[in-house]
Structure 1
């Protein structure tokens, strides 16, 4: 590989490595920011029971302290009670509805487990809040999360299998004609839990100035994956403007956003699972916040306050629905509402490569019911075959430069290294006579770079690999640990990945072969060995599926280059170059690079003459 190729690749790799480390917050920064946030949001170490939002929620909690005066206030009879749980369950999810707040207390995703093998509970217990907030005509702040609802009908659990669905109504009563209903519906084989909020007679309870109700959601999501730091880096809040685009908050620091005036949905997204609240008519604005917890069992905490338009009429109805499920691209896409945009596929051309090429090919291979290790193998082979013309063109260009090297050395010896302008002019004449483009080996490599980088985003966000094993790798969605040890502070290293070692060794072998073929020397030679070692520390904690792909890709690249090397005859290339030298200048086609270099050299000559 020539100097230009190495220089281009080196700069690209430096940018990647630099951006990775510069955007990653330190533990000290996370803890410092968390301390600041503690003044406005409570994230307790075991089970947060207070509000995670602002003073509005804090006032609500104070307003619900039980004493003789509050018992006589609005919904006073519902301020005390005992919690009862009713289960809504189908083939995919199991949701517990609590009489305390009438809210969804916990959701289990069936068929999935945490990294430790425990049932996968999306969120649970008092780590989540859900309630309507408004002020009464007596200037009492109400948060329905703190009141006890009553189920309408029996209190039996509902199991939905191969049925149209079940409905559960939880009611917060003021009197027989004034109440708030949460109507839950669950259909068979669905990750969606319907929720219709209906208020009756509330216009006579709420203050005259009330134009909207605030619906508050807050939760702290427990760890589900092996690598907590990686799970935090891929967890944040998302929202979508009605008839607009999907937006997300920062993944690397605490963040908050004011929601658009019409917001279609909000989402609390963990790495591989999401809790989404959807309003087809749109919420009337609000705010959303995400915070990193200092608790080593909590990934992040989320708070959202969304507004529901309140009309001064007998009945107000708000049809909503939840999505509780995996961040699997096609599963999210089937829900509608652009939920699949929560699956990060990279930026710029990498996103379109993954969505239009990689994902369809992967799904086609998945339909063959192979193991995912074999699917990645087949995907690698197909990609390498598709890119082989570029690989061949790159190698052929490097072979031409290798054949020209003796003549370039003669020119360098004759002209010397002191006058770089003259040296480049002589090189340019040689390139022109031989019909060789010195950038011809670099351009095909750069064209392949987006495909290589696309997988850097594809595999770490691919739900299908979660929990899938291959060879010694127990889970392709996270790192394989050959050796584990106490964390090394400077390197932030607590394990060694065997697949990452194999990938690094394969890259070093390929670099050695390229150096031997191209005759690279000096700093170019050593850069090729340094970069794989740098990337070992970067990729050591990345999914074993990604390192497995890079290992296969490097091995196939080595084989392709080996066979191309055997098929390319340097003597024929030399004869072709010599024949091209004998052609008249008018018959030689100049490359864009040659034209630009000629213009540059001409400008340098003019400056030298003026000087």
Structure 2
């Protein structure tokens, strides 16, 4: 590097150093820049705070607006519980919404042995929606003030800032499951439009599983309602169901197998939407019920909205007596909550079975003994029809040799019509009808079916033990294996097994008697198999049914077999044949065919044969 180059680099370095010293900020400038940086950080850090403050200001502004509403003071409060009760039921209210939040039945126990709780706050809800001029009132959002509290009454008052109020007056009737519920508005006319004539109600409740058997209890748990001036009806018990009602309703019931919560409107429910949703097994619930409806409401307070609530058992006579407690003196027909079967069967149960059951229960007997005596009495009452049916079969049996002769006379299939004609002519001559045993059996069926509907709905059997069954209202599981088998479950009901065995024995005996009376005409094999298969199928069908019902069918089948055996022993078939031969001699003195149904059938067959012959002759020509 030469001397000139060295001098050049030295000058460049000196210029750079001098420029850096000259351009360096003063201490005042450094302090100013530092203050600006700090202020920027403060601004950035303050943004969330400012945002939160903005939200807070908005909430304050909103509260300021809400504070002018008519029920602002009622929107804040602390939940309080109030209880009223009598000897039968204990009802608990919450001031949040002014509603019933729990109902306990003192005379009945749950599966835990404690007094039965029909529902509590988490299971239920009730909200009244009033349409106001400037907004809606939803009672579930407000705290009511409990006043006039006694052992059996309470008034839940929703106070308005203008001095007016809405009252929910509850009065539990003495020694009854019924509670009067009256809604009244005072000093509220200016809040509601003049067109307001109704209040909307949202009622919901989950039906608890209160019995041991989920499947059987589910079958008898349903949302039930009564249409004005008509009979009651219900939503599906097995699937999700919804009904948009066009008719007005007297009442709506959230029904379990043995207990119900019933909401009754004196001025009827209108614009009703009902929903029922089955719940999963082991959830602790059977159904999820919802009802949205409207009923009368007078904003001026001149007339009250009259309603009633029933929290109690599905006991026929208790429900029937509750009809007399109606505020409007209507025949509520609450007893329809106890399903007694189809029309004819319902009348048998209402006027015979229930009264007989109550009479026998009044003796202080166990429920097992009551069912036994009922079954015996029913069998005695239908004995004349049973005997007539048996005698018809016995007459055909003693005529078997004559029927056999006809079968041998016409062995060919093409002679079937002639064989049938002579067989019917024989029956007519002896005054015997093959159909004579069917009518008595049909007469007996409604009586036997009546108990099929009565026993599962008899709350008196609930938690009543008999022999190995701890509860006659549900299945007995003396034999159980803990795991679930399709179509059978995790147990085998002993009463169901006994019922099926007696059915098998009865079928064997009946089929044997029919074969003996058919004179060699064998029944179709498939029909025989069906007759033997049905009793076996009963094990799978009735295994989850109440042990009381299976016990009734077992006793009934056993008595039926014994009755047939005794009738067989006391019937002198020689005397019976002599009587039939006397009938033949009497009928032979008359012109034409024998009398009665068989004579008419014989004449009809002869006429059909004559018509066929004419057709054949016409065809040959």
Relative to the length of structure 2, the TM-score reads: 0.81
Partner of 1:439: 435
Higher relative contact order (CA 8 A, sep 6+): 1
**Deviations along 1:370-398, whole A, 9 cap, x unmatched?**
11111111111111111111111111111
- Gap change, CA 1:470 and 1:601, over 3 Å in 2: farther
Higher helix residue share: 2
How far is the alpha carbon of 1:590 from its aligned partner? 2.2
Return closer, same or farther for 1:453/1:187 CA change in 2, 3 Å cut-off: closer
| Partner Cα distance (1:435, 1:534) in 2 | 39
Aligned residues between the structures: 536
Q: Which of 576, 579, 583 is residue 573 of structure 1 equivalent to?
A: 576
Structure 1 pair 585–416 and aligned structure 2 pair: CA distance change class (3 A): farther
* Alpha-carbon distance, 1:608 to partner: 5.2
| Structure 2: tracts of 5 or more residues without a match | 1-61, 324-331, 517-521, 617-621
Aligned residue in 2 for 1:564: 567
Is the Cα–Cα contact under 8 Å of residues 460 and 543 in structure 1 kept in the other structure?
yes
Deviates most, 297-306 or 310-319: 310-319
Check 1:609–1:328 CA distance in 2 against 1; reply closer, same or farther (3 A cut): same
Matched, 1:270 2:256: yes
Distance 2:167 2:602 in 1: 75
Distance 1:84 1:303 in 2: 25
Inter-partner Cα distance in structure 1 for 2:498 and 2:561: 14
Q: Which moved more, 1:539-548 or 1:211-220?
A: 211-220
Structure 2 match to 1:350: 345
Instruction: Report what 2:14 is aligned to.
Output: none
1:34-45 → structure 2 map (5 Å cutoff): none
**1:41-91 deviations in whole A, cap 9, x for unaligned?**
xxxxxxxxxxxxxxxxxxxxxxxxx96654543422222322111111111
Whether the 8 Å CA contact 1:263–1:285 is kept in 2: the answer is no
Encode CA deviations 1:246-283: one digit per residue, 9 max, x unaligned: 23222232223344654322211111111112223333
CA–CA separation in structure 2 for the residues paired with 1:582 and 1:387: 33
Candidates 240, 247, 263, aligned match of 1:254: 240
Shift of 1:150: 1.1
What secondary structure, in the 3-state scheme, does the structure 1 residue paired with 2:607 have?
helix
1:198 pairs with 2:198: no
Give the superposition deviation at 1:488: 4.9
Tell me if 1:245 matches 2:223: no
| Residues 519-534 of structure 1 aligned to structure 2 (within 5 Å) | 519=515, 523=525, 525-534=528-537
- Work out which of the residue numbers 600, 603, 610 in structure 1 matches 2:608: 603
Structure 2 vs 1, CA of residues 526 and 594 (structure 1 numbering), >3 Å: closer, same or farther? Answer: farther
Q: 2:492 aligns with which of 493, 496, 513?
A: 496
Matched, 1:117 2:113: yes
Secondary structure of 1:440's partner? helix
- Looking at structure 1, the residues matched to 387 and 336 of structure 2 have their Cα atoms a distance apart, in angstroms, of 36
Deviations along 1:210-238, one digit per CA (max 9) or x if unpaired, are 33211221111211011122222211222
1:71/1:79 contact within 8 Å kept: no
Q: Secondary structure at the match of 2:321?
A: helix
Report what 2:139 is aligned to.
144
CA distance in 2, matches of 1:236, 1:527: 34
Q: 1:417 to 1:493 in 2, by over 3 A?
A: farther
Question: Is the contact made by 1:241 and 1:260 (CA closer than 8 Å) also made in structure 2?
Answer: no
Partner of 1:186: 172
**Is there any run of 5+ residues in structure 1 with no aligned partner, and where?**
1-65, 160-165
Counterparts of residues 176-325 of structure 1 (less than 5 Å):
177-207=163-193, 209-259=195-245, 262-294=248-280, 296-325=283-312
Alpha-carbon offset, residue 484 of structure 1: 2.4
Give a deviation string over 1:75-118, Cα, whole Å, max 9, x none: 22222322111111111001111011110000001121223434
CA contact (8 A) 1:105 1:125 kept: yes
2-structure distance, mates of 1:498, 1:279: 46
For the pair 1:79 / 2:75, whether they are aligned, the reply is: yes
Describe the superposition over 1:389-445 as per-residue Cα deviations: whole angstroms up to 9, x where unpaired: 111111111111111222212211221251322221111111112211111122212
| 1:149 positional shift | 0.9
Tell which structure's C-alpha radius of gyration is larger: 2
Distance 2:547 2:81 in 1: 41
Residues 265 and 295, structure 2, Cα contact 8 Å, conserved in 1 = no
TM superposition score normalised by structure 1: 0.82
261-270 or 122-131, larger mean C-alpha shift: 261-270
> What corresponds to 1:590 in structure 2?
595
CA distance 1:314–1:182, change in 2 (3 Å): closer
* Equivalent residue, structure 2, for 1:12: none
Provide the C-alpha distance between the structure 2 equivalents of 1:135 and 1:83, rounded to a whole number of angstroms: 25
1:402 matches 2:407: no
Q: What is the rounded CA distance, in whole Å, between the counterparts of 2:375 and 2:454 in structure 1? A: 13
1:111–1:573 Cα change, 3 Å: same
Asked if 1:540 corresponds to 2:543, the answer is: yes
Which residue does 2:554 correspond to in 1? 551
